[in-house]
């Protein structure tokens, strides 16, 4: 149970990876839209379509600002909302004055909406867009074209919607797979630093105290040796169910090692966390697992202290867990408070591997 820095702890979390993906998508859509639309400003100006030309200037300026904000500030300019609005207005207006030449832009505009807006907003915006385009085409083109345009634009929207919806689901599924342990469904270590850091910030900024509990099954190796690895897996699953049953919705349960679990308890003082840990250990030892496997667990409790880092907090809990094991197991040990004058001995700065 040695918490040492490793290069993998510097890798972005799955959630950050998804956010990074979204930023790249927005960045590229604005960049390529700018490249495609900028020449049209001159084309439309030369054709004396001054209003459309100005609209396209706004579109290009917005694209440049979004690109600049993403690159230099890592934020979205006006939340990225102007692109869809301007794209739809330009495509509609261009169709009304340029006919088919303007209509062709309606298709990329409708598709882009699904990648830039939340799905529901994109569906509503595109439904309105298709209706408006249908009205414009009804007055602008022969009836046969009106039907073709309305159906082909509607179908483009449906395809884009299905694709965007599936990409969204895929992102959620990949995040879930990357952040949870496949055997127990508990959170894995990928977001551990972020979640502990959040609790530390709540402590520093708002004096809101949280605690963490480490629970480690005792002599788990003998379960595997005696009953087999599959039975060991079943015990871990049932252990998770027993822990979850007693926890609150806001508590976060991690499996941070083979038979070691960590629970983050927001808004919970050491004393209450200790009571909870005692109850959890009772819940484990009171009834046999898989009908006849009796097992106990050891636990430690640590309330977050002013001025400590997440790794010191976790190390304090870890050392207390060692203490519980060496005192004979099947008990809870409270970690001593962290003091900036006398920091507790730690094995290293960053928790990344647990044995």
Alpha-carbon distance 139 to 262, whole Å?
66
Alpha-carbon distance 314 to 281, whole Å?
20
**Got the DSSP string for 103-136?**
HTTHHHHHHHHHHHS-HHHHHHHHHHHHHHHHHH
Interface contacts to ligand GTP, rule CB under 6 A: 183, 216-221, 224, 229, 232-233, 236, 258-259, 325, 329
- What is the DSSP secondary structure assignment for residue 262, as one 8-state letter? E
255 touches 240 (CB < 8 A): yes
User: Which CB sits closer to ligand GTP, 84 or 232?
Assistant: 232
User: Which CB sits closer to ligand GTP, 269 or 325?
Assistant: 325
Q: Minimal distance in Å, beta carbon 234 to ligand GTP?
A: 8
User: Which CB sits closer to ligand GTP, 238 or 349?
Assistant: 238
Q: Minimal distance in Å, beta carbon 215 to ligand GTP?
A: 11
Integer angstrom CA distances of residue 130 from 63, 233, 239: 24, 54, 54
- What is the DSSP secondary structure assignment for residue 338, as one 8-state letter? P
Q: Minimal distance in Å, beta carbon 287 to ligand GTP?
A: 19
55 touches 45 (CB < 8 A): no
Residue with tokens 């920091």: 343
Number of helices (H) and strands (E), helices first, in the chain? 12, 5
Alpha-carbon distance 13 to 307, whole Å?
24
Residue 164 has a CB neighbour count (10 Å cut-off) of 20
User: Which CB sits closer to ligand GTP, 269 or 329?
Assistant: 329
User: Which CB sits closer to ligand GTP, 223 or 304?
Assistant: 223
Q: Minimal distance in Å, beta carbon 155 to ligand GTP?
A: 48
Q: Minimal distance in Å, beta carbon 344 to ligand GTP?
A: 21
Q: Minimal distance in Å, beta carbon 280 to ligand GTP?
A: 16
User: Which CB sits closer to ligand GTP, 192 or 217?
Assistant: 217
């Amino acid at each position: 149970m040695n918490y040492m820095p490793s290069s993998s702890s510097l890798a972005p979390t799955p959630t950050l990876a998804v956010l990074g993906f979204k930023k790249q998508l927005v960045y590229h859509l604005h960049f390529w839209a700018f490249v495609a639309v900028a020449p049209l400003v001159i084309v439309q100006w030369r054709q004396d379509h001054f209003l459309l030309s100005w609209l396209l200037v706004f579109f290009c300026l917005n694209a440049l600002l979004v690109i600049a904000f993403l690159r230099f500030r890592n934020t979205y300019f006006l939340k990225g909302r102007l692109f869809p609005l301007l794209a739809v207005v330009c495509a509609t207006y261009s169709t009304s004055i340029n006919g088919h030449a303007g209509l062709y832009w309606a298709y990329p505009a409708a598709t882009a909406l699904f990648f830039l807006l939340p799905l529901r907003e994109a569906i509503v915006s595109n439904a309105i867009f298709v209706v408006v385009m249908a009205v414009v085409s009804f007055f602008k083109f022969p009836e046969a074209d009106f039907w073709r345009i309305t159906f082909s634009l509607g179908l483009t929207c449906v395809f884009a919607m299905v694709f965007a919806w599936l990409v969204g689901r895929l992102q959620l599924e990949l995040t879930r797979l990357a952040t949870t342990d496949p055997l127990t469904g508990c959170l894995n270590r990928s977001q551990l630093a972020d979640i502990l850091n959040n609790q530390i910030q709540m402590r520093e900024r708002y004096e809101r105290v949280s605690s963490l509990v480490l629970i480690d099954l005792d002599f788990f190796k003998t379960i595997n040796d005696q009953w087999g690895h599959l039975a060991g897996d079943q015990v871990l699953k049932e252990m998770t169910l027993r822990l979850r049953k007693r926890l609150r919705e806001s508590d976060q349960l991690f499996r941070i090692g083979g038979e070691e679990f960590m629970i983050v308890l927001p808004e919970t003082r050491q004393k209450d966390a200790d009571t909870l840990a005692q109850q959890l250990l009772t819940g484990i030892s009171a009834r046999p697992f898989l009908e006849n496997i009796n097992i106990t667990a050891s636990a430690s409790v640590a309330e977050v202290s002013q001025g400590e880092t997440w790794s010191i907090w976790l190390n304090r809990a870890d050392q207390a867990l060692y203490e519980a094991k060496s005192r004979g197991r099947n008990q809870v040990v409270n970690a001593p408070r962290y003091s900036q004058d006398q920091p507790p001995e730690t094995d290293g700065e960053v928790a990344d591997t647990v044995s």
